[in-house]
Amino acid sequence: MKKNHFIVVSVLLLFLLLVLGVNSVSAQKPAYLDVNQSIEKRIENALSLMTLEEKVAMCHAQSKFSSRGVPRLGIPEVWTDDGPHGVREEVLWDKWSAAGWTNDSCTAFPALTCLAASFNPQMSLNYGKAIGEEARYRNKNMLLGPGVNIYRTPLNGRNFEYMGEDPYLASRMCVPYIQGVQQNGVAACVKHFALNNQETNRRAINVEISDRALHEIYLPAFKAAVQEGNAWSIMGSYNKFRGEYNCHNDLLLNKILKNDWKFDGVVISDWGGVHNGDQAVNNGLDLEMGTSTNGFTTDGTTPYSQYFLAAPYLKGLKSGKYTETVLNDKVSRILRLIFRTTMSANRPFGKFVSPEHSEIARKIAEEGIVLLKNENEFLPIPVDKYKKIAVIGKNAIKSLIVGGGSSSLKAAYEVSPLNGLIKKYGKDHIVYSKGYDSGKTEYSKEINSKVNADSLIKAAVEIAKTADIVLFVGGLNKSKFQDSETADRESLDLPFGQDKLIAALLKANKNTAIILNSGNAVSMPWVKDVPAIVQAWYLGSEAGNAFANVIAGDINPSGKLPFSFPKKLEDNAAISFGQISYPGDGEIEKYKEDILVGYRWFDTKKITPLFPFGFGLSYTSFEYGKIATDKKVYSSDDLIKVSFTLKNSGKVDGAEAAQVYVSQPKASVVRPLKELKAFKKVFLKAGEIQTVEMEIKAKDMAFYNENAKEWTLESGEFILRNAASAADVKSSISISIK
């Protein structure tokens, strides 16, 4: 062979070897590591390589907030964190106490009630994206939120973590939140599935409810989260339903969630919500967390290896008591979550406490604030209008990010209402007095001593007398028995003597506006006497800035109430039926109001609420045109196209959350007088007029038929109404379903 030929042949051979070599390397690469393979292929392959021990090890916690991966195969751990208003600080491996890191102070976003009050799904998407970025940056692959339990009574200590009383609103608002979170390769964990509508006795109460109320009121937001949001995980709730704990409730988890809704994600227990090994194995739970803790205050006493889904599970598998098919289903779901998150090729890097996140938090806060009363245009208060503004009330300075239970946050910063107002109006124009005290500790139930309370009122009154106007900033806070986990509120009233203080302030200065922070309705004995009332929720890091922008008129309020405010506690449906209906007799609770929750009850029973669902004022005014539809007669598969004109008839730009309610006057079952089926937030310049268009799926007007166990849309007449709130219908139109 000539020298040249030899070189050419050698090069060719080398090339061939290289190609073959590369191929054989890629042929060796197991499918589960190959991001070009489908997730289902990767799962199948990983499963085939795992031992029984490795599989079981994935099904229970290894620390307070994490569970094991498969170290031998390079499959990472699952790291969860609360949720739902920001990414919770790191805790110790095995305890609830803070780990004391210095780099885990997050952006605190507004509470979910505030998000719901924005009536703006775009805000949900922004919220989800931003909180998902923070979770991703912190290396979490499961964010424990959003919460979508329905607001059944104004006493539930955790209502602030949920999205109000209406299943349609909660559905529309939770879907973009979930999508936003998951775009970051972080699973949203929708909670608490299901019927966790109170904190009193939450770990024992057995809910009795009709199928209809279950499907029409309490499940739709979860269903939308699964089917439209494609949520990758869901958390079982502490309570029981029809005798079985919900973290291993066969009907809820196996039949409804996994079989009917085709949920392919992970069912994770609430912390300490698992009570029975056989049910934990067979009734649809995939991942067991927090066993032997009370889910809130007590540290674990049971080693992780003794969890129901740990050593006892392995033993049962080996003895043939449990099948490997069920185990493989659990592990497949956990692997699916890992391949969707940590082992996904497209996972972005995340961001933490960025200026964009602050802006998102502030905008949501601004859009969620609800103006409840504004006599003679008391608000806004332009800068320089008054020399002296008295700010009274503990909530103007108290942290409302800390407390409340598992959603408590260590925030990078929090602008208090007082600081927001000082920044806006200048410190020479603001005077502050506490007026009432709400104590230091978050978890103690504290009453002011009379002497102290009276002297605080006296000092506040002195300041109020000399001020041009008074802004009272009060409400609830995140202490136990208020808006907080593990216990419900004990009354509808404002705590810490605030009603007495408000009465004294009004005597001293009738120009006293009331601004309330809460995630719940409160009673307002002074409602007729005050010129203005603002519902300001819990607004997170940007609270003071958002708040001052609205008070000063830089932002025109556009939030609407996601739940009804009753005049008195007994006007609430659940509470009106007595103890067995709320909070239950200690063991059982019967949802006696059935489907008539929130405005469905007020409407149907003709009870006037203090403020209705969907209500909120603006600094401008809106004129609604008459509602029209594209057709008169529809079939059940049709989309009903609704339209009407909306005009900003005032002098400033603003936004209106226009609502469309549906009713079926003659039905074979009781139907609420009306139900929300569409809404749209419309931004209009002063004087601008727009045609607002919305769509309603005819199917969505169906009711849950308990006999047939399916949704039924009866033919006949339906009425569609456009409205500014559940109590402010503008016009109606009749259509029929054939």
When the beta carbons of 123 and 189 are compared against ligand BGC, the nearer one is 189
Q: How far is the CB of 407 from ligand BGC (least distance, A)?
A: 7
Nearest Cα neighbor of 352 from 406, 416, 412, 441 is 412
Q: d(Cα 1, Cα 10) in Å, to the nearest integer?
A: 12
Single out the residue of 32, 193, 218, 296 in contact with ligand BGC (rule: CB under 6 A): 296
Q: State the number of CA atoms in the 13 A half-sphere of 605 facing the CB.
A: 18
The answer to whether the CB of 372 falls within 8 A of the CB of 536 is no
Active site residue 299: no
SS3 string, 309-330, reads CCHHHHHHHHCCCCCHHHHHHH
The answer to whether the CB of 106 falls within 8 A of the CB of 412 is yes
When the beta carbons of 403 and 497 are compared against ligand BGC, the nearer one is 403
When the beta carbons of 296 and 591 are compared against ligand BGC, the nearer one is 296
The angle at the Cα of 316, spanning 311 to 318, to the nearest 5 degrees, equals 95
When the beta carbons of 268 and 364 are compared against ligand BGC, the nearer one is 268
Q: Decide if residue 83 touches ligand BGC (CB under 6 A).
A: yes
Instruction: Name the DSSP class of 427.
Output: G
In the structure encoding, which two tokens stand for residue 576, read together? Answer: 């009106």
When the beta carbons of 82 and 714 are compared against ligand BGC, the nearer one is 82
Residues 583-612 that bind ligand BGC (CB under 6 A): none
| Rg over CA atoms, the chain | 28
Q: State the number of CA atoms in the 13 A half-sphere of 680 facing the CB.
A: 17
Pairing of strands 654-663, 675-684: antiparallel
Instruction: Name the DSSP class of 216.
Output: I
Residues 2-31 that bind ligand BGC (CB under 6 A): none
Q: How far is the CB of 486 from ligand BGC (least distance, A)?
A: 8
Q: d(Cα 120, Cα 657) in Å, to the nearest integer?
A: 8
Q: Decide if residue 478 touches ligand BGC (CB under 6 A).
A: no
Q: d(Cα 500, Cα 326) in Å, to the nearest integer?
A: 60
Query: Which alpha helices (H) appear in 183-234, and where do they start and end?
Result: 211-213, 220-227
Single out the residue of 82, 165, 208, 675 in contact with ligand BGC (rule: CB under 6 A): 82
Binding to ligand BGC by CB under 6 A, coded x per residue (else -) over 184-213, reads -------x----------------------
Q: How far is the CB of 583 from ligand BGC (least distance, A)?
A: 17
When the beta carbons of 234 and 506 are compared against ligand BGC, the nearer one is 234
Q: State the number of CA atoms in the 13 A half-sphere of 241 facing the CB.
A: 24
Binding to ligand BGC by CB under 6 A, coded x per residue (else -) over 390-429, reads ----------------x-----------------------
Residues 228-287 that bind ligand BGC (CB under 6 A): 270-271
Residues 663-692 that bind ligand BGC (CB under 6 A): none
User: For the residues of 347-386, what is the DSSP string, one character each?
Assistant: ------S-HHHHHHHHHHHHHH-EEEEEGGG-----TTS-
When the beta carbons of 26 and 301 are compared against ligand BGC, the nearer one is 301
When the beta carbons of 80 and 545 are compared against ligand BGC, the nearer one is 80
Query: Which alpha helices (H) appear in 155-284, and where do they start and end?
Result: 167-182, 211-213, 220-227, 277-282
- Orientation of helix 121-137 relative to helix 355-368, angle to 10°: 150
Q: Which member of 270, 571, 594, 603 is catalytic?
A: 270
Q: d(Cα 568, Cα 480) in Å, to the nearest integer?
A: 22
Single out the residue of 69, 146, 185, 295 in contact with ligand BGC (rule: CB under 6 A): 295
Q: How far is CA 429 from CA 469, 473, 482, 521, in A?
A: 11, 17, 32, 31
Q: How far is the CB of 133 from ligand BGC (least distance, A)?
A: 20
When the beta carbons of 238 and 496 are compared against ligand BGC, the nearer one is 238
> Chain-centre distance of CA 491, in angstroms?
23
**What are the b/e assignments for 140-151, b being 16+ CB within 10 Å?**
bbbbbbbbbbbb
When the beta carbons of 82 and 542 are compared against ligand BGC, the nearer one is 82
In this structure, which long-range contacts are made by residues 599-602, counting pairs with CB atoms below 8 Å and at least 24 apart in sequence?
A: 599/165, 599/166, 599/564, 599/726, 599/727, 600/672, 600/673, 600/675, 601/572, 601/573, 602/564, 602/566, 602/571, 602/726, 602/727
Q: How far is CA 597 from CA 157, 218, 522, 575, in A?
A: 18, 10, 18, 11
Tell me whether residue 301 is exposed, middle or buried, using C-beta atoms within 10 angstroms of its C-beta: 0 to 12, 13 to 18, 19 or more: exposed
In the structure encoding, which two tokens stand for residue 498, read together? Answer: 């605030």
In the numeric block, the tokens 């007026």 are attached to: 435
Q: At a CB cut-off of 8 Å and minimum separation 6, what does 580 contact? A: 588, 589, 590, 592
When the beta carbons of 43 and 144 are compared against ligand BGC, the nearer one is 144
When the beta carbons of 59 and 289 are compared against ligand BGC, the nearer one is 289
- Orientation of helix 417-425 relative to helix 543-552, angle to 10°: 50
Q: Decide if residue 137 touches ligand BGC (CB under 6 A).
A: no
The answer to whether the CB of 648 falls within 8 A of the CB of 688 is yes
Nearest Cα neighbor of 173 from 217, 256, 94, 117 is 117
Q: How far is CA 426 from CA 176, 420, 431, 465, 536, in A?
A: 39, 10, 10, 20, 22
Pairing of strands 370-374, 532-535: antiparallel
Q: How far is the CB of 336 from ligand BGC (least distance, A)?
A: 21
Q: d(Cα 405, Cα 441) in Å, to the nearest integer?
A: 13
When the beta carbons of 220 and 272 are compared against ligand BGC, the nearer one is 272
Residue type, 529: D
User: Number of residues in contact with ligand BGC, rule: CB under 6 A?
Assistant: 9
Single out the residue of 144, 334, 353, 676 in contact with ligand BGC (rule: CB under 6 A): 144
Which residues here bind ligand BGC, judged by CB under 6 A?
Answer: 82-83, 144, 191, 270-271, 295-296, 406
Q: What residues are labeled active site?
A: 270
